[in-house]
Amino acid sequence: MKNVLDIFLQKKGLTRYDLSKSVGISEQTLSKASKRDPETYTSKTIIAIANGTSNTPGEVLDALLQIRDSEELYHVATLNELRQKVKEQEDQFIVTGDFHELLKEIDRSRISETAELGFQYGSGGLGTIAVHKILRIMNAFRDDTKLENIKQDIAALYSIEFIDKNNVKLRLKQLDY
């Protein structure tokens, strides 16, 4: 399920962190809520979101449900946002801005799905785990460990669709099976 709360907050120019600090609700509570359908949010959570965004609870719930039922996706614009979405394994999102070349590099470095499945089958599934661990160790000795790890995670988890020269859609591979 897409992260409806983050899309709503992004429209308001806020993050979960900003909201948690302004209304005194824990970031963990917001994180848990963001993974659920807005219809299951507690009244305390809806009221806190309303207080932090200068809306009524009814307006907040209506907006969240409208986002849930739409094709809207979260737009990542910074490396920290990209890291967060990949770490949380967001179903799908749009990457905007300066990441186009990075995502092209990731896409070019991939092997075919058939070759990958053959490798996994031939190694009994252990080869993929071993390669992942080896790459993590190698990345630890690079200048930008975090960037290399995010590239590795994107390559392993997401399909990449180039929308135009400024926007790229990342979608979890598992959703396409």
Same domain, 85 and 64: no
Range of the domain at 57: 4-68
The pLDDT value recorded for residue 119 is 57
User: For residue 23, what pLDDT is reported?
Assistant: 92
User: Please, what's the b/e burial string for 6-35 (b: 16 or more CB within 10 A of its CB; e: otherwise)?
Assistant: bbbbbeeebbbeebbeeeebeeebbbebbe
73 in any annotated domain: no
**Average pLDDT, integer, range 24-39:** 91
Place of tokens 């992942």: 132
Q: 171 and 85 in one domain? A: yes
Q: What is the mean pLDDT of residues 10-36?
A: 92
Confidence of residue 142 (pLDDT cuts 50, 70, 90): low
Total structural domains in the chain? 2
Q: Where are the alpha helices (DSSP H) in the chain?
A: 4-11, 16-23, 27-34, 43-53, 57-68, 79-87, 100-108, 113-122, 126-139, 145-157
**For 37-68, what is each residue's pLDDT tens digit?**
999 999 999 999 999 999 999 999 999 999 99
pLDDT for 144 beyond 60: yes
